[in-house]
Amino acid sequence: MSALIGMPQGAEWLIILAIVILVFGAAKLPDLARGTGQALRIFKAETKGLKDDDDKPATPAPPTVELSPVDEVAEGEIVDEQREKNV
């Protein structure tokens, strides 16, 4: 029984190809193949990206600096300070 279940061989591929041509039409086959190729390329790139992410060690987030009310500067003050330096 296991000999009957397996990958299609020569004649079966021809029958499958004929059915695909009948269903999609000969004009649509290049578009179908192009779309399938693009989808496979995107899938491979994404899986490679996931593998690369797993290989990299996790980097800690940079420390955040919180400004106190005294350290906050208004935009106008910065412009005034730059004008004073240029004069």
Whether 81 is covered by a domain: the verdict is no
Task: Tell whether 66 is covered by a domain.
Answer: no
Is residue 39 predicted with pLDDT exceeding 90? Answer: yes
pTM (two decimals): 0.40
Check if the beta carbon of residue 29 is closer than 8 Å to that of residue 20: yes
The answer to whether residue 43 sits within a structural domain is yes
In this predicted model, what pLDDT tens digit does every residue of 16-25 receive, in sequence order? 888 988 888 8
25: region left, alpha or beta (phi > 0 left; psi from -120 to 50 alpha): left
Q: Is residue 48 part of a domain?
A: yes
Q: Tell me 56's DSSP state.
A: S
CA dihedral 13, 17, 19, 22 (to 10 degrees): -170
Q: Report yes or no: 43 and 51 within 8 Å, Cβ to Cβ.
A: no
Total count of domains within the chain:
1
Residue 62 lies in a domain: no
Amino acid at position 64, single letter? T
Q: Is residue 45 in some structural domain?
A: yes
